[in-house]
Amino acid sequence: MDLRAELLKSIWYAFTALDVEKSGKVSKSQLKVLSHNLYTVLCIPHDPVALEEHFRDDDDGPVSSQGYMPYLNKYILDKVEEGAFVKENFDELCWTLTAKKNYKPDRNGNSVISHQDAFKLWCLFNFLSEDKYPLVMVPDEVEYLLKKICTAMNVELNSCELDDYLSQEPQGQGGLTVWQFLDMVNSGRFLRGIEQEAVSMAVEEVYQEVIEDVLKQGYLWKKGQLRRNWSERWFTLKPSVLSYYMSEERKEKKGSIALDKHCCVEVLPDRDGKRCMFCVKTSSRTYEMSASDTRQRQEWTLAIQMAIRLQAEGKKSLHKDLKQKRREQREQRDQRKAAKEEETQRLKQLQEEKERKLQELELLKEAQRQAEILLQEEEQRRRQQHEEMQRTLEIQLREAEQARASMQAEMVLKEAEAERQRKRILELEDMQERLQEALQQEVKARQDEESVRYAQARLLAEEEEKLKQLMKLKEEQEEYIIKTQREKQVLKQEMENKNKCLEEAQKQLEEVRVNRQRADQDVMAAQRKLRQASTNVKHWNVQMNRLMHPIGPGDKRTNVSGGGFTGYQPLLSQRDSSLK
């Protein structure tokens, strides 16, 4: 944090204190007074012309912080030189302006800290606050500052109680404002039973360490350069210089030792009646000093070595460096926390995705179970249809058996009638027997033809039925293949069964085709036999007509011929009906 940023923090408090209406703007007259005071405390030459030129009365209304910043940067901050002014006086000016409006100590006089201690805590707050406005101090820095004060009083800070207080206190912009911080200290919640004087001493020690960059201070014995006598002096160590005074009030400065990266500190053996000796070697001189005890000597040597190290690293302030490191650690911690939260969120999303996948898997399993149930229901329905068809075929077979039995009985009756007719035509018995043989051959051929036709029709029906079943099986197979494409592994066995059924149906179809071909051959043979029989019947009819022509008288011939054909006609009809 450079000098400009430090000055701007204090000036921001002074500007907001002048903003009575909290509108973000301050009147020009008040800004003139503020600018004049800043010129004085910062030891900058006054420029009344620029002041009057910038705040002319013909400008419109009050001025905002953004409107005041150009003048502040150009005519004041750009001219500030570090070390040319007393920063404590500058801070007191800004504190005086802002404390009148915002600082409200206990009216009953029960405040833990005095007004001067409040000013020093305000300076410490500005130093440790974040570099963004409005100024706040994050909880880590609050705890750090309180621990420093408690350590100076040899008191341990109750961190749990501090965390409870910070969790209950409303925090804006992620931290406490300076007025919330001062109210917390004045409440005495963390400094119970401690006298105000002890608190003031602790605040003063922390103020000197943090604000004035005092690394260590205390009494040491110093050996003179000319007279070589030992004198007790109050030493104050800063990163660039080791100063010594007549007393701890630091009113009369006796001298200083400039420190740089070429300096060193060494422990010396006891001599001249002095113990716990050490020396600081610079490029021009060696300074011998003596501490009160070994512990003090070690603390001083370590502190001086730290100051030399800071000079070697080009750092002007220890606590600025520590503050920057703490800020970097907070940023790294916040980054780790954000990364952890992001990782947690990602794991949560992965868990949700996993749960969603499991739900989808359960839905797929449920769909698979439903498909299996539908397949079982379809198989049961086909089995029922098959059983029903089998029962229907059995009924038809019984009816066919009954019809065949009735036809056989009828044939018996017809044969008896034919036997009676044969007895009436004794004279034509031989011819009748021959004709009957021819007719029997014809009837047999027709019967064979009809039986073959019946067998062929039955085979055709079976073939058609098998073709329908085959087409149905093919359609079902295609449907199952389309529906169960994603469940191939589950329905693989079912497809194999369907393929087996299809192969069996194809085999049966081939057998039916072979039987149909055989039946066609039988039909052709029967047709040939029928044509032969028809030829024989025609031949015997001609022979019969020739034989029966000379026979007389006419009635007897008519009766004989009529009786002969009527005797055979029922027999032929009987054969045809039996074949059907």
Q: pLDDT tens digits, residue range 5-62?
A: 888 888 888 888 888 777 778 888 888 888 888 888 888 888 777 767 776 655 555 7
- Lowest-confidence segment of 248-257, 387-396, 489-498 by average pLDDT: 489-498
Share of the chain above pLDDT 90, in %: 19
CB of 277 within 8 A of CB of 326?
no
CA distance 297 to 276: 6
CB of 557 within 8 A of CB of 551?
yes
- Lowest-confidence segment of 259-268, 354-363, 452-461, 483-492 by average pLDDT: 483-492
Residue scoring higher pLDDT (554 or 394) = 394
Is the predicted pLDDT of residue 560 greater than 60, yes or no? no
Is the predicted pLDDT of residue 379 greater than 60, yes or no? yes
**Domain extents for the chain?**
2-211, 216-315, 419-448
pLDDT at 374: 92
Single out the residue of 79, 84, 88, 71 nearest to residue 35, CA to CA.
71
CB of 382 within 8 A of CB of 472?
no
Query: Residue 106, SS3?
Result: coil
CA distance 402 to 408: 10
Domain 216-315 fold: PH-domain like (2.30.29)
CA distance 454 to 448: 10
Query: Residue 220, SS3?
Result: strand
Q: pLDDT tens digits, residue range 505-535?
A: 888 888 888 888 888 888 898 888 888 888 8
Maximum average pLDDT range among 56-60, 106-110, 486-490: 486-490
pLDDT at 571: 37
Q: pLDDT tens digits, residue range 219-247?
A: 999 988 777 888 999 999 998 899 999 98
Is the predicted pLDDT of residue 301 greater than 90, yes or no? yes
pLDDT at 550: 55
- Lowest-confidence segment of 285-289, 368-372, 510-514, 548-552 by average pLDDT: 548-552
Is the predicted pLDDT of residue 555 greater than 70, yes or no? no
Q: pLDDT tens digits, residue range 138-179?
A: 888 888 888 888 888 888 887 787 777 777 766 656 788 888
Residue scoring higher pLDDT (576 or 526) = 526
Helix (H) or strand (E) holding 240: none
Is the predicted pLDDT of residue 279 greater than 90, yes or no? yes
CA distance 168 to 13: 26
pLDDT at 351: 92
Task: Give the Cβ contact number of residue 397 at 10 Å.
Answer: 10
260 φψ region: left (φ > 0), alpha (ψ -120 to 50), beta (else)? beta
Residue scoring higher pLDDT (550 or 357) = 357
Q: What is the 3-state secondary structure (H, E, C) of 118-180?
A: HHHHHHHHHHHCCCCCCCCECHHHHHHHHHHHHHHCCCCCCHHHHHHHHHHCCCECCEECHHH
Is the predicted pLDDT of residue 565 greater than 50, yes or no? no
| Structure token digits, residue 548 | 């029966």
CA distances from 312 to 309, 322, 392 (A): 5, 16, 113
Is the predicted pLDDT of residue 438 greater than 60, yes or no? yes
Q: What is the mean pLDDT of residues 372-385?
A: 92
- Lowest-confidence segment of 206-210, 217-221, 571-575 by average pLDDT: 571-575
- Lowest-confidence segment of 106-120, 325-339, 347-361 by average pLDDT: 106-120
Single out the residue of 190, 184, 18 nearest to residue 100, CA to CA.
18
pLDDT at 107: 58
3-state helix, strand, coil in the chain (%, to 5): 70, 10, 20
Per-residue pLDDT band for 303 (boundaries 50, 70, 90) equals very high
| Structure token digits, residue 515 | 């039987």
- Lowest-confidence segment of 95-99, 425-429, 433-437 by average pLDDT: 425-429
Residue scoring higher pLDDT (445 or 278) = 278
Q: What is the mean pLDDT of the chain?
A: 82
Buried b (16+ CB within 10 A) or exposed e, 492-518: eebeeebeeebeebeebbeebeebbee
Q: pLDDT tens digits, residue range 58-67?
A: 555 577 777 7
Per-residue pLDDT band for 109 (boundaries 50, 70, 90) equals low
Q: What is the mean pLDDT of residues 75-101?
A: 86
CB of 393 within 8 A of CB of 465?
no
Q: What is the mean pLDDT of residues 313-337?
A: 85
Single out the residue of 120, 119, 161 nearest to residue 143, CA to CA.
161
Q: What is the pTM of this model?
A: 0.57
